[in-house]
């Protein structure tokens, strides 16, 4: 008997069965708001430790997510631990074996991420987020339900409830807030849907850059700025077929510092055989100064740039794939003592984009969402004081985020990019060093030293 290829291979395009909706008024050990990588990881890790969790997702699967679709090395240990790696490898995906960078002048350098060394180098994959998120959500919802918890799809969290002062738990030195998370109100099934209320003393905000839990912490509780246009990036993505040089399912992803796009970059990330994610990103504060919007900038590069117009000559845009979204960067804010911005208070921990943790140079955020999803779950399980979460997030991610912010600022200068890529193109030693810097954990530690950066750039 032949298997139904469509149902086996394209399982992520099917709905995910998540069981009965819990009764309004039910109490849980923890409530996770958002079912993307950060929320799914937090829910999955909590469920693995036996906690009774409610995970609420606004959309109903299958759903798309605007992204470049690169799942870097940092994600792989969590992807394995949550049992999703084999699922990814059993479905179509692009295995990344290198990154090609080009400078405004057109110099190119290829940084190999050798396949044979993939475990040490942690190169990663590229695959549509519709597929990656579905595989991850499906695994994690099964873990949650297996541990006696519940899942809601199509549930829009509107209101965060607080317990005013009677929480009992020490809010932690310097928190300045006696309020404690008590639960949430969810609107189910669109605008006219019914409302249900669920309770827990542990909330995880994982609903992306507009997360309602993050708003209740950052804006409502602390009157701080949630969105800062110098630290948010606009991103635009399209899927294309038949782009020359992007036919295989193994190979390089490409990052191009094109003159008309600087201070941002243009990317080509193949996601499976003959399908490529094509996109562009730019810091919002800088985009405000541009006459053209991202969509128009991208159309211009594809139609007119000498490096790309021939490659796109026979290509087709996949209908319905053109979408924009925002990237909350993890670059340090000048005046904040809670870097990159506040990510915890009594009974609440924020993860991934809800905590503004996207790498400000590469635009990668899936890895940091998974890392903080695990971290939030661990802190909840260990009953750690809430402020320790904020501290650990910055201790673990701060050095690389600071470093990437420096790199982002350097990459705004065309002459510097021309000089550096030109130099790297000619020097294999520099290419090897870049490989280590991008893919090896030990070398990334070195990257946090300004002296190492200096040596790398100058010699």
Ligand X SMILES: Cc1cc2nc3c(=O)[nH]c(=O)nc-3n(C[C@H](O)[C@H](O)[C@H](O)COP(=O)(O)OP(=O)(O)OC[C@H]3O[C@@H](n4cnc5c(N)ncnc54)[C@H](O)[C@@H]3O)c2cc1C
Question: Under the rule (CB under 6 A), what is the footprint of ligand X?
Answer: 33-39, 56-59, 65-70, 72, 156-157, 206-208, 212, 235, 237, 279, 281, 325, 327, 352-354, 358, 363-367, 369
Q: Which is nearer to ligand X, 67 or 438 (CB)?
A: 67
Q: Which is nearer to ligand X, 376 or 430 (CB)?
A: 376
Q: Which is nearer to ligand X, 34 or 347 (CB)?
A: 34
Q: Which is nearer to ligand X, 144 or 207 (CB)?
A: 207
Q: Which is nearer to ligand X, 39 or 167 (CB)?
A: 39
Residue 124 near residue 115, CB atoms below 8 Å: no
Q: Which is nearer to ligand X, 109 or 327 (CB)?
A: 327
The DSSP output letter for 27 is: B
Q: Which is nearer to ligand X, 112 or 363 (CB)?
A: 363
Report, in Å, the least distance between residue 193 CB and ligand X.
12
Q: Which is nearer to ligand X, 140 or 430 (CB)?
A: 140
Element (H, E) at 266: strand 264-272
Report, in Å, the least distance between residue 419 CB and ligand X.
26
The full 3-state SS of 327-393, as one line of letters, equals: EEECCCCCCCCCCCCCCEECCEEECHHHHCCECCCCCCCHHHHHHHHHHHHHHHHCCCCHHHHHHHH
Q: Which is nearer to ligand X, 107 or 236 (CB)?
A: 236
Does residue 159 sit in helix, strand or coil? Answer: strand
Q: Which is nearer to ligand X, 109 or 204 (CB)?
A: 204
Residue 187 near residue 158, CB atoms below 8 Å: yes
199: how many CB neighbours lie within 10 A of its CB? 16
The DSSP output letter for 46 is: H
Residue with tokens 């802190």: 379
Element (H, E) at 287: helix 284-287
* Residue number with the smallest Cβ distance to ligand X: 365
C-alpha distances (whole Å) from 167 to each of 163, 293, 346, 378, 381 are: 6, 48, 9, 21, 18
Report, in Å, the least distance between residue 170 CB and ligand X.
28
Report, in Å, the least distance between residue 2 CB and ligand X.
34
Report, in Å, the least distance between residue 66 CB and ligand X.
5
The DSSP output letter for 231 is: S
Report, in Å, the least distance between residue 281 CB and ligand X.
6
Report, in Å, the least distance between residue 40 CB and ligand X.
7
Distance (Å, whole) CA 423 – CA 421 = 5
Does residue 259 sit in helix, strand or coil? Answer: coil
Report, in Å, the least distance between residue 62 CB and ligand X.
12
C-alpha distances (whole Å) from 110 to each of 103, 331, 440 are: 12, 27, 16
Q: Which is nearer to ligand X, 215 or 423 (CB)?
A: 215
Angle formed by the axes of helices 428-439 and 414-426, nearest 10°: 110
Residue 381 region, left (φ>0) first, then alpha (ψ -120 to 50), else beta? Answer: alpha
Report residue 263: phi and psi, to 5°.
-90, 55
Report, in Å, the least distance between residue 75 CB and ligand X.
7
Report, in Å, the least distance between residue 22 CB and ligand X.
15
Token readout for 261 is 């796009």
Q: Quick one: which of 133, 15, 149, 120 has its CA closest to 84?
A: 133
Angle at CA of residue 388, ends 384 and 390, nearest 5°: 130
Report, in Å, the least distance between residue 190 CB and ligand X.
13
Residue with tokens 């990036």: 233
């Amino acid at each position: 008997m032949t298997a139904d290829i469509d149902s086996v291979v394209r399982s992520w395009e099917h709905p995910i069965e998540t069981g009965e909706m819990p009764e309004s008024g039910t109490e849980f050990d923890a409530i996770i708001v958002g079912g993307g990588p950060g929320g799914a990881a937090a829910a999955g890790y909590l469920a693995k430790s036996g906690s009774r969790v409610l995970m609420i997702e606004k959309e109903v699967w299958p759903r798309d997510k605007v992204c470049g679709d690169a799942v870097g090395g940092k994600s792989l240990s969590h992807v394995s631990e949550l049992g999703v790696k084999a699922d990814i490898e059993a479905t179509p995906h692009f295995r990344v074996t290198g990154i090609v960078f080009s400078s405004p002048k057109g110099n190119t350098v290829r940084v190999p991420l050798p396949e044979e060394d993939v475990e040490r180098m942690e190169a990663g994959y590229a695959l549509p987020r519709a597929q990656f998120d579905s595989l991850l959500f499906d695994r994690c919802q099964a873990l949650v339900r297996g541990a006696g918890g519940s899942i809601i799809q199509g549930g829009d969290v509107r209101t965060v409830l607080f317990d005013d002062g009677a929480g009992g738990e020490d809010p932690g030195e310097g928190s300045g807030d006696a309020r404690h998370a008590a639960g949430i109100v969810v609107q189910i099934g669109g605008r006219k849907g019914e409302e249900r209320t669920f309770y827990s003393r542990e909330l995880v905000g994982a609903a992306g850059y507009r997360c309602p839990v993050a708003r209740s912490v950052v804006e409502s509780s602390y009157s701080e700025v949630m969105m800062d246009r110098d630290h948010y990036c606009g991103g635009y993505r399209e899927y294309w077929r038949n782009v020359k040089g992007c036919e295989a399912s193994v190979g390089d992803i490409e990052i191009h510092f094109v003159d008309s796009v600087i201070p941002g970059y243009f990317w080509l990330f193949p996601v499976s055989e003959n399908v490529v994610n094509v996109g562009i990103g730019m810091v919002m504060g800088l985009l405000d100064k541009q006459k053209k919007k991202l969509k128009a900038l991208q159309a211009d590069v594809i139609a007119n740039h000498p490096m790309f117009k021939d490659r796109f000559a026979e290509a087709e845009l996949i209908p319905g794939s053109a979408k924009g979204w925002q990237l909350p960067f993890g670059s340090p804010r000048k005046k904040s003592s809670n870097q990159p911005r506040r990510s915890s208070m009594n009974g609440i921990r924020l993860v991934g984009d809800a905590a503004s943790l996207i790498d400000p140079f590469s635009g990668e955020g899936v890895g940091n969402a998974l890392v903080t999803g695990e971290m939030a779950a661990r802190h909840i399980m260990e009953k750690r004081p809430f402020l320790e979460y904020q501290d650990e997030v910055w201790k673990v991610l701060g050095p690389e985020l600071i470093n990437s912010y420096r790199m982002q600022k350097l990459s705004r200068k065309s002459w510097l990019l021309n000089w550096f890529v030109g130099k790297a193109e000619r020097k294999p030693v520099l290419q090897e060093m870049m490989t280590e810097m991008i893919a090896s954990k030990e070398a990334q530690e070195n990257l946090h030293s300004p002296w190492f950066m200096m040596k790398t750039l100058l010699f």
